[in-house]
Amino acid sequence: MTDKLEAKVHEKLYGLDHLRAFAIILVFFFHYYIVSDGEPEWLPGVASFGWTGVDLFFVLSGFLISSQLFLQIKKGELISFKVFFIKRFFRIVPAFLATVGIYFCVPYFREKESLPALWRFLTFTQNLNLNLKDYGTFSHCWSLCVEEHFYLFLPIILILLQTSKLFSKSFWLLITFFLFGFAIRFYSFNYLYLPKIDQENSWMYWYKYIYYPTYNRLDGLLVGVSIAGIYQFLPNLWIRLSKYGNQFILFSLCILTGAYFLCEDLLTFNVSVFGFPLIALGFGFMVAGAISPVSFLYKMNSKITTFRANLSFSIYLTHKGIIHTTHQLLKDFEIENNVMLLICVMTCVLGAYILHLTIEKPFMKIRNKTIKTSLIK
């Protein structure tokens, strides 16, 4: 029985495709509600919690990236930062730079008036000290900045732990980062945000000091890393836990329901300090369920969700600009709100598919050739 479960664990994880598709739907609805002038009446109730789709992406990234690196460590291989960097660079940077180029060269594409300075995008520091009110165009790039910081520091930390023979104690570092998140958000809320609360547009300071900075948003990534640690280094424990895949998914929905009500008013102490880790924990159980061989998400192989999952990065990069552009082009036609939403779904998928075909796929081929050349050398 154990051997069969271990074999299943290493098959393609279709459940994660479903979660990627789910995450981009959440994000799309949330941003559609913000960008569109005339949203359907039912949308606000659905979209209000859509911002958490980014947190699901964080958990997924934390699991997938650390699981790959942990597998190398498990095999006794020294992590190659060069190979890891090549993989991440070709997967992310070409499509990202293409989107940045569109935003800077085609003002019509911008969903708001002003862009942050170009160097902030090129250095992935746009999420630090971001003025959402005056420079809110392409603001959703903030989460990509968080992930890039994670991609930079995770392999460096793991290499240091490997070379210093301290990897067996690394769980203490994980706990330290979790506790640091609570402490820094407590400080950010009380000493950075609260002094600004009586100022005009005080909401933007909450986003600036609490929502966007990388050091406040590590919870989802850390939850993903924790799942990957159990998945790779504690196989017997994972096999026992994986028998409860569907229960994990149900439990995750219970946690996220509680988080939904907790986060009705974002600009509060409880949300700022405890909301992000609660959401990360909820999505963590969802990811654990999705990779459990007994769960319905693991067993369900859908070409539709796989297609959406494959386009999720391109959709994420371009959807706000395409929604805005679609609305502008069709504003004189008096299209019913639900129909307009459907049209925007189609234009966003089409735009993402074009970006995927023209930029993502060709550069992934270049990536594979570059990695082979690098390994031969």
What is the tens place of the pLDDT at every residue in 97-118?
999 999 999 999 999 878 999 9
Q: What is the pLDDT averaged over residues 289-299?
A: 95
CA distance linking residue 173 with residue 66, whole number of Å:
14
Interior angle at CA 56, CA 19 and CA 313, nearest 5: 70
Mean pLDDT over 151-179 rounds to 93
Record the pTM.
0.94
**Residue 210 pLDDT exceeds 90:** yes
Per-residue pLDDT of 31-75, as tens digits, reads 999 998 657 888 888 899 999 999 999 999 999 999 999 999 999
Question: In this model, does residue 317 exceed pLDDT 50?
Answer: yes
Confidence grade of residue 1 (pLDDT, cut at 50, 70, 90): very low
Average pLDDT over residues 253-267: 96
Q: How would you write the chain as a 3-class SS string?
A: CHHHHHHHHCCCCHHHHHHHHHHHHHHHHHHHHHHCCCCCCCHHHHHCCHHHHHHHHHHHHHHHHHHHHHHHHHCCCCCCHHHHHHHHHHHHHHHHHHHHHHHHHCHHHCCCCCCCCHHHHHCCCCCCCCCCCCCCCCHHHHHHHHHHHHHHHHHHHHHHHHHCCCHHHHHHHHHHHHHHHHHHHHHHHHHHHHHHCCCCCCHHHHHHHHHCCHHHCCHHHHHHHHHHHHHHHCHHHHHHHHHHHHHHHHHHHHHHHHHHHHCCCCCCHHHHHHHHHHHHHHHHHHHHHHCCCCCHHHHCCCHHHHHHHHHHHHHHHHHHHHHHHHHHHCHHHCCCHHHHHHHHHHHHHHHHHHHHHHHHHHHHHHHHHHHHHHHHC
Q: How far apart are CA 365 and CA 357, in angstroms?
A: 12
- Tell me what pLDDT residue 376 has: 59
Please give the pLDDT value at position 334: 87
Give the pLDDT mean for 219-225.
Answer: 98
Residue 9 has pLDDT above 80, yes or no: no
Domain boundaries, the chain: 2-376
**What is the residue-averaged pLDDT of the chain?**
93
pLDDT at 10 over 60: no
